[in-house]
Structures are given as structure tokens and as C-alpha cells.
Copies of this chain bind each other. A is one copy, B any other.
Amino acid sequence: MYIVCSDLEGVFVPEIWINVSKITGIDELKLTTRDISDYNVLMRGRLNLLQKYGLKLHDIQKVISLLKPLPGALAFIEWIRERIQFIVVSDTFIEFADPIIEQLGRPTLLCHHLSIDPSGNITNYVLRQDDAKKKVVEALQGLNYKVIAIGDSYNDIAMLKKADFGILFNPPQNVIDENPGIKVVESYREIKSIISKLIHEEQQKDSETSD
């Protein structure tokens, strides 16, 4: 049995922080892991900026709810969910992702979470575990699933390599160059064709085994 594990930002929705930066006009919020390689430094910086500008969780959720999924994303997710189990695996925080996940029909989302004080201030962030994406793939394989993983960037590579079938969706050129072994696609249509083929092959094998 196949299951799909997919990244969120860059695959179904635009990069959250770049767009939060645009909407709020807070230029420093557009920094990503491509600018600051240490994720903890990056997240501390973001939380400090939110505090500096007096933005509570509620404010930032309102901004994020203005973001729209990428064109065709919802229909693509619905197509997958009609055929195969589907889980979103992200390095974002559940509280930030929620307004967008709602627009995507609330698929299961495995990610990290924030600490919020009683006044609604974001006081800290809690990474669920190291190598979180790769560990989700391993856990599902331990449950006898074959994993089709979809991602677009550096933090997806370990997950894509661990998966039974890894797919890079519209990645930056440097990610393509550094990972020549991973299938690269440019459209949801291509992913649908891969998933259909894998499901069909498995059904044929099942059918032969049971003859």
C-alpha cells in the first residue's frame, strides 16, 4: 500500500514567511533558510521581530489566512485523497499552517508547534524532533506502507531519499544539481501520472499474487 507524504510550502502553498513579509511590510521577515543556514537563529529572529512589532499569534494567523494555495493545489490534493492516503509533512508550525491547511481541506499535518502565552504572544517554538520529515517516512514504512514523498527544497532531501519514491517539485536549480538521483517534476499532472502508475503496478502485482 502506498501513502503520499508531501511538504507544504513550495508544493501546495507559497513560501509563508516571504509573503508574511510582503503583507506586513516587515522586510526582515523575508529571510529564509537560504539566507540564514542555522534554523534556530532564523526562528529566534522571526519571533523577536514579531515581538518587536507587537504581532501576536492571532495577527500573524490573520496575515497567513490571506495567502492562497498555489493554482490547482486543492484539486490536486483532492485527486490524491480519492486514490491513496495522504499526509502533509512540514517543518512549519501547526499554528501558522492552520489557516492554509483549512483551505486545503484539512489533510493530516505532521509538523512542529509554538508555545503561546495566555495573552496570545508567541513565546517559543517546539521542534517535534530532529530529522522530523525523514522519521515520518521511516515510521510509515515500519507500518508496511510504501511512501511516495514530495518536496521542493533542502530540508526535504532526507525524506525524499528515504521514501520508496521521492519527487522534487519545482526545486531551485542548486537542489537539482546536488541531487541528481531524485526525480524532478514541474507540474501536478506529472505527479498524478507517477502516482497512477505506481498504484496500477501494485494492483497488478497483488492480483498476480492472489491467483
Contacts and interface: CB of A to CB of B under 8 A. Distances in A.
A41 to B, nearest CB: 18
Interface residues of A, number: 39
A115 B207 contact: yes
A143 B139 CA distance: 8
B108 A107 contact: yes
A55 B87 CA distance: 33
Given A123-B210, A132-B143, A108 B110 contact: no
Interface in A94-137: 94, 102, 105-110, 113, 115-118, 123-124, 126, 128-129, 132, 135-136
24 contacts: A1-B94, A1-B126, A1-B128, A82-B102, A82-B106, A85-B108, A85-B109, A86-B108, A105-B106, A107-B108, A108-B108, A110-B143, A115-B210, A116-B206, A117-B210, A118-B207, A123-B207, A124-B209, A128-B144, A128-B145, A129-B144, A135-B142, A139-B139, A139-B140
